[in-house]
């Protein structure tokens, strides 16, 4: 995908995909939560699959994290499933999000830089 295909504030380099299974909740609450999540800066897409009760997200991990999404879900009384697999995925998602955020702040460097031309011996 090209950068033009993403929403404002989303860089393809930092784009991550997340899938979270939700506990059964009222459809009105889920729709309201998805609408609020959809307004977050750095979010590329959000969708809810009612058959699988799964929330699918794509966002720029240097600008947004899973905790921001969970706050909105809690505000609308929508709970994330607490099965062992979902908890494991959440922890892995948090680790990767933090790693992407840290790497985005880091200035790239290389030990293979060419020396300045005025200091060369002939």
pLDDT tens digits along 70-105 = 999 999 999 999 999 999 999 999 999 888 888 877
Residue 114 within a domain: no
Question: What is the residue range of 57's domain?
Answer: 3-101
C-alpha closest to that of 69 among 93, 101, 99, 100: 93
Q: 8-40 in b/e burial notation, b at 16+ Cβ within 10 A?
A: eebeeebbbebebbbeeeeeeebebbbebbeeb
- Rounded Cα distance between 51 and 33, Å, is 17
Q: Total structural domains in the chain?
A: 1
Residue 111 within a domain: no
- Rounded Cα distance between 70 and 31, Å, is 15
Q: What does pTM read for this prediction?
A: 0.75
Residue 47 within a domain: yes
pLDDT in tens, 6-49: 776 677 777 888 999 999 988 899 999 999 998 888 888 889 99
Residue 118 within a domain: no
Judged by DSSP in three states, 101 sits in helix
């Amino acid at each position: 995908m090209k950068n033009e295909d993403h929403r404002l504030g989303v860089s393809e380099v930092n784009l991550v995909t997340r899938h979270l299974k939700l506990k059964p909740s009222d459809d009105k609450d889920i729709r309201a939560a998805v609408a609020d999540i959809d307004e977050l800066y750095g979010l590329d897409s959000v969708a809810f699959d009612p058959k699988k009760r799964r929330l699918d997200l794509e966002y720029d991990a240097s600008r947004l994290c899973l905790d921001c999404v969970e706050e909105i879900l809690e505000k609308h009384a929508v709970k994330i499933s607490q099965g062992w697999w979902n908890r494991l995925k959440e922890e892995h998602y948090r680790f990767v999000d933090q790693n992407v955020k840290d790497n985005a702040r880091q200035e790239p460097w290389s030990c293979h830089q060419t020396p300045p031309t005025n200091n060369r011996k002939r």
